[in-house]
C-alpha cells in the first residue's frame, strides 16, 4: 500500500489539494505580487535552480523578498542585509512560498517532502543524507514541522531520510495539517542570527565516513 501511494497516490493527493488551493489563493497571490512589484520592482518572482527527484534540477519559484544590493566589489550583500521589511513579513507568514504551488502542479515538487535546497550542496551530502532525494521535494515536510530552520543541518537531514522511509497518506495529511498550525503561529522561521539558515558546509565525519 505504501509503495502504491508513493508511486501514484501521492501525485493524486497533490493535484486534489493544489488545484483548489491555487484557485482560492489566486486573489492573495495577486495582492502579494502587486506589493512586491511596488516595493521591490521587477521581477516579482525569484527563480532559482534546485535539485528535485534524484537530484535532477528544476526551477523553483518564490516571491522576491530581498534586494539585489552589492558591495563595492560587486558581491551580493549577506541575506540578512538584503532582506526588506516586506520580505521579512512575507517570510514570517510563509507567503513567499505560495508560487511553489505552481511547481507542485507541474510535478516538479510535492506538497510534502524534503525541502529543495541549493544545487551546490549536492556533493557535500553523505550517502545517507543524499537519500532525501529519493522522493520529490516538498512545499513542506517532516523536518519543517519538527523544527524547520531552528534545527541543525544534520538533524534536518536525518528527519528528511526518516520521512523517505515512512512516507504514507496518513503522515502526509498530518504534516499538511500541522504545517497550517505552525504557519499561523509563525514558528521556527529562521536560525538565530540568520535570515533563514547558515550555509551547509558539509557534515564533520568520523573515519568510517559517517557524520559525527
Domain positions in the chain are 2-185
pLDDT at 205: 57
* 72/147: higher pLDDT: 147
User: How many angstroms separate the CA atoms of 28 and 100, rounded?
Assistant: 14
Percent of the chain clearing pLDDT 70 (strictly above): 91
Is 80 exceeded by the pLDDT of residue 188?
no
- Total-model pTM: 0.88
Determine phi and psi for 109, rounding to 5 degrees: -135, 170
Residues whose CB falls within 8 Å of the CB of residue 78, separated by 6 or more in sequence, listed in order: 195
195 touches 117 (CB < 8 A):
no
Residues whose CB falls within 8 Å of the CB of residue 42, separated by 6 or more in sequence, listed in order: none
- Measured at the alpha carbon of residue 161, what is the angle toward residues 158 and 166, in degrees to the nearest 5? 125
149 touches 56 (CB < 8 A):
no
Q: How far is CA 152 from CA 16, 90, 132, in A?
A: 33, 23, 16
pLDDT at 15: 97
- The 3-state DSSP class for residue 74 equals coil
CA 157 to chain centre: 13
pLDDT band at 135 (very low <50, low <70, confident <90, very high): very high
pLDDT at 193: 57
Amino acid at each position: 500500500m505504501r509503495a502504491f501511494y508513493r508511486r501514484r497516490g501521492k501525485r493524486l493527493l497533490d493535484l486534489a489539494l493544489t488545484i483548489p488551493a491555487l484557485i482560492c489563493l489566486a486573489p492573495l497571490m495577486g495582492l502579494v505580487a502587486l506589493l512586491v512589484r511596488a516595493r521591490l520592482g521587477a521581477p516579482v518572482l525569484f527563480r532559482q535552480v534546485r535539485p528535485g527527484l534524484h537530484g535532477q534540477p528544476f526551477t523553483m519559484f518564490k516571491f522576491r523578498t530581498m534586494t539585489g544590493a552589492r558591495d563595492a566589489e560587486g558581491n551580493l550583500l549577506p541575506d540578512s542585509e538584503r532582506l526588506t521589511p516586506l520580505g521579512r513579513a512575507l517570510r514570517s507568514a510563509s507567503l513567499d512560498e505560495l508560487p511553489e504551488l505552481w511547481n507542485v502542479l507541474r510535478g516538479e515538487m510535492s506538497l510534502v517532502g524534503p525541502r529543495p535546497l541549493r544545487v551546490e550542496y549536492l556533493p557535500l551530502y553523505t550517502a545517507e543524507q543524499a537519500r532525501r532525494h529519493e522522493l520529490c521535494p516538498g512545499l513542506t515536510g517532516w523536518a519543517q514541522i519538527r523544527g524547520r530552520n531552528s534545527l541543525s543541518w544534520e538533524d534536518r537531514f536525518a528527519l528528511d531520510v526518516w520521512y523517505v522511509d515512512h512516507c504514507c497518506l496518513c503522515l502526509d495529511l498530518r504534516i499538511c495539517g500541522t504545517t497550517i498550525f505552525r504557519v499561523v503561529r509563525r514558528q521556527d522561521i529562521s536560525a538565530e542570527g540568520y535570515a533563514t539558515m547558515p550555509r551547509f558546509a558539509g557534515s564533520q565525519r568520523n573515519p568510517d565516513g559517517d557524520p559525527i
